A = this chain, B = another copy of it.
Amino acid sequence: MARRLGISRAAVWKQIQALRLRGYKIASSTRRGYLLTEKPDLLDAGRIKKDLVTNWLGRDILILPEASSTNAVALSSIGQRKSGSIILAETQKEGRGRLSRGWASPPGGIWMSLVLRPNIPLSWVYRINMAACVSICRAVCQLGLEAGIKWPNDILIQEQKLCGILTELGAQVDRLDYAVVGVGLNANNDTAAFPSQWRSTSLAARLGRSIDRCALIAAILNEMEQALDDMESHELYEEWCSRSLTLGKRVRISSAEGELIGQVLDLDQDGALILEQGGDRRRILAGDCIHLRPERAAEAT
């Protein structure tokens, strides 16, 4: 190899080491040379853009080997970030979920933030969440898996958590300045190591094989642009309802006001959950939601 390239064997070895550091698995054998045995599962802007058909989303991609969290990176530099720009990290040291909860972000997952600057009133911001949930479901379904939405911001496969969405925004009282949509999706990362009470799953665990993260990111962005451009439509709201796993279920809702158990009757256009509890109807805008088993019919004695 050194002869063919006209460089020293030490120089070849140095480049091989550099590739190994980037995750390439390369076997070596004295006098026979090197053999590439495995390409790394690394994010690459070029490979994402190859499959992109968007007009404005994902045209500007920043990939970090490590970040505190991609949302934190986006928020701390929000003045310099154009609408549609994307930040990805191979791992996050301080991944965050709602209510300041931690979010495990080992290598192999998709830890991504989207910077959006839609010209919408503040009362429409939940629609961004709807668009994100719907488009991730669509992209995951293209892999042959059935994913649905757990209110308010999770994507589940068979009641196990595949993906969480954390949308943070800056605004004036009557106008949105920016939204940062954080997506944490268990793709090829090992969720077996996560605490069992998290009830997590990953695409790799469901499919029995690794997926191409770059292709999935492109698919998500393609669907997301369409959903965001369509944000104000009744169709988006209807698709969000039809993909909901929470609608119709018995749930326990925890919020600042306390705990409620009841049946989910409806989800409204603003993203609120309509709960029936002992004959009363409650409209719930914010809270944690746990899906419960259906109540057993009272046994006749």
Total copies of this chain within the assembly: 2
Kindly identify which residue among B122, B126, B169, B172 contacts A98, using a CB–CB cutoff of 8 Å: B172
Q: Answer whether A169 and B167 are a contact pair too, CB < 8 Å, given A121-B285, A256-B119.
A: no
* Distance (whole angstroms) from the CB of A153 to the closest CB of chain B: 8
Asked if A125 is an interface residue, CB under 8 A from chain B, the answer is yes
**Centre residue among A152, A173, A256 by max chain B CB count within 10 A:** A173
Are B169 and A123 in touch, CB under 8 angstroms?
no
Are B171 and A168 in touch, CB under 8 angstroms?
yes
Q: Given the complex of chains A and B, what is the CA–CA distance between A77 and B171 in angstroms?
A: 17
Are A123 and B170 in touch, CB under 8 angstroms?
no
| Complex interface: chain B residues within 8 A of A153 (CB) | 173
Q: Given the complex of chains A and B, what is the CA–CA distance between A286 and B156 in angstroms?
A: 37
Kindly supply a per-residue 1/0 record for chain A positions 58-77, scoring 1 wherever the CB is within 8 Å of any chain B CB and 0 otherwise: 00000000000000000000
**Centre residue among A129, A166, A171 by max chain B CB count within 10 A:** A171
Asked if A271 is an interface residue, CB under 8 A from chain B, the answer is yes
Q: How many residues on chain A are close to B (CB under 8 Å)?
A: 28
Q: Answer whether A170 and B173 are a contact pair too, CB < 8 Å, given A119-B256, A121-B286, A286-B121.
A: no
Residues of A116-136 contacting chain B, CB below 8 A = 119, 121-123, 125-126, 128-129
Q: Answer whether A122 and B119 are a contact pair too, CB < 8 Å, given A167-B172, A169-B172, A171-B171.
A: no
Are B286 and A175 in touch, CB under 8 angstroms?
yes
Q: Given the complex of chains A and B, what is the CA–CA distance between A110 and B119 in angstroms?
A: 31
Asked if A229 is an interface residue, CB under 8 A from chain B, the answer is no
Q: Given the complex of chains A and B, what is the CA–CA distance between A121 and B286 in angstroms?
A: 7
* Distance (whole angstroms) from the CB of A299 to the closest CB of chain B: 39
**Centre residue among A172, A271, A286 by max chain B CB count within 10 A:** A172
Asked if A174 is an interface residue, CB under 8 A from chain B, the answer is yes
12 new A-B contacts, CB < 8 A, other than A122-B122, A169-B172, A169-B173, are A119-B256, A121-B286, A122-B285, A129-B173, A152-B174, A167-B173, A168-B170, A173-B271, A174-B271, A174-B285, A174-B286, A175-B286
